[in-house]
């Protein structure tokens, strides 16, 4: 049996660990869903995500965090996460996308994480909001936000 594994694909165990990271953020937020306090819900998500991220086998740096734009609790840009072991990765996070939705007990709030090899993730700098689209390199010429 041959392996078709490519270096672009995340290690399966790392991918499952990242699922656990988002799960921890969601579970930490759950008691606050519908309580009307979006700051407390956001803080719980950040705390749950940060706790689990530090247990993941990776040398990660947050490239795209969430807190600066809305003065919310955050995983900040440049923050070192993971246990410091390889692989070296860049991370984009939003522990609670839809804070108002969660605070009001509405559906569709979620925890978000994206990971790429160190130095390969686009760093938007101080840009707060932008339209984004991701796709495989093979379809890059087909993607257009307009």
Token digits of residue 57: 């086998």
The pLDDT of residue 146: 78
In percent, the amount of the chain with pLDDT more than 90 equals 64
Helix axes 12-29, 38-53, angle to 10 degrees: 150
- Helices first, then strands: H and E counts in the chain: 4, 4
pLDDT at 8 over 70: no
User: Does the reported pTM lie above 0.95?
Assistant: no
pLDDT in tens, 29-85: 999 999 999 999 999 999 999 999 999 999 999 998 865 555 556 888 889 999 999
Burial 87-124 (b: 16+ CB within 10 A, else e): bebbbbbbbbebbebbbeeeeebbbbbebeebeebeee
pLDDT at 2 over 50: no
pLDDT in tens, 105-140: 999 999 999 999 999 998 777 666 667 778 888 998
Average pLDDT score, the chain: 87
Domains of the chain: 12-142 (3.30.540.10)
């Amino acid at each position: 049996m041959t392996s078709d594994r490519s270096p672009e694909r995340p290690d399966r165990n790392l991918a499952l660990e990242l699922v656990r990271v988002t799960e921890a953020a969601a579970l930490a937020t759950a008691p606050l869903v519908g309580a009307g306090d979006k700051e407390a819900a956001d803080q719980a998500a950040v705390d749950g995500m940060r706790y689990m991220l530090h247990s993941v086998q990776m040398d990660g740096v947050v490239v795209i965090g969430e807190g600066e734009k809305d003065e919310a609790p955050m995983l900040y840009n440049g923050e070192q996460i993971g246990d410091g072991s390889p692989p070296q990765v860049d991370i984009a996070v939003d522990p609670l996308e839809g804070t108002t939705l969660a605070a009001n007990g509405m559906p569709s709030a979620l925890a978000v994480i994206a990971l790429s090899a160190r130095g390969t993730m686009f760093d938007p700098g101080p840009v707060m909001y932008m339209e984004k689209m991701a796709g495989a390199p093979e379809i890059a010429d087909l993607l257009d936000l307009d």
